Amino acid sequence: MTQSQAITLPWTGPRIAVLEISGAIGQQVRGMDLVRTIRSLTNDPRVKAVVVQIDSPGGSAPVSDAIFRQLRKLSKKKPTVASILGSGLSGGYLVACGTRHVIALPTSLVGSIGVIFVRPVIEELLTKIGVRVEVTHLGKLKGMFQPWHEPTPEEQAKVKALTAEYYDWFVNAVAEARGMDRAKVREYATGEVFSGAKAKEIGLIDELGDFETAVKKARSLADLPQKPRLQFVRPRRPLLERLMSRGVSAQSIAAEIEERLLPRIEFR
């Protein structure tokens, strides 16, 4: 047998990786785990293209940004195709923009380009139950995000400026990724949700189709054989974390409550 006739073993042959992003970003979709997984796909010589299956309402703005940036790095090296199933909204849509080609079902929900700043205020509740919170800080705005008091006009102005900054960044990121005029993207960046069919009409996606359409497109972009091997990829959590997640502990409940009380800015 000559070198040109060498057998390619199944586990060493070229394949298309399928990466699933499902659920709220920052909660169900864990940023660090997913970024690490995308990086590994970038460096895996067996992976010739990647299909990113997306069904997400969005979520944490920083986590969405981190995933978007890592997908952009992957897209510079290998063909990437987004396949929007139920929804690709806000941060979920931003993630889709990190790929080279975006495909969505006609009945999927796409868009919702906008920013939400969430700051719980529990001052009235604490007063009712007789709890007083005393905070000592240096820097007049150091306590501006604390839930123990109503925001002052100055704090509100700062929050509006911060939200506007995130909004402008989101619009610019979509415009650059989609090759659209910023003014045109801003017309659609009202938080409005579009059907996949409408999104195709206005340029937010490239093509209508299902998962098989996305695989076919990825195969074409990578110039692969008719039936390339599909490798379904999910971020791997540490063993201890997987074991702990089988039950609900008081610590996990407390952590969830604490997270809900923290201010957060979201692409949702």
142 labelled catalytic: yes
For residues 201 and 196, give the distance between their C-alpha atoms in angstroms, rounded to a whole number: 9
Mean pLDDT computed over 21-42: 91
Catalytic, out of 73, 76, 142, 160: 142
Secondary structure of residue 88 in the 3-state scheme: strand
Q: Identify the pLDDT of residue 128.
A: 76
216 labelled catalytic: no
**Domains detected in the chain:** 13-267 (3.90.226.10)
Compute CA distances 169 → 86, 172, 201, whole Å. Answer: 25, 5, 24
DSSP string, 17-63: EEEEEES-BTTTB-HHHHHHHHHHHHH-TTEEEEEEEEEE--EEHHH
pLDDT in tens, 62-119: 999 999 999 999 999 999 999 999 999 999 999 999 999 999 999 999 999 999 887 6
For residues 40 and 44, give the distance between their C-alpha atoms in angstroms, rounded to a whole number: 6
Question: Looking up tokens 């909004």, which residue turns up?
Answer: 167
Catalytic, out of 64, 90, 108, 112: 90
Task: Identify the band that residue 22 occupies on the pLDDT scale cut at 50, 70 and 90.
Answer: very high
pLDDT in tens, 227-263: 788 999 877 655 444 445 545 555 555 445 545 555 5
Position 141 pLDDT exceeds 90: no
Q: Identify the pLDDT of residue 157.
A: 87
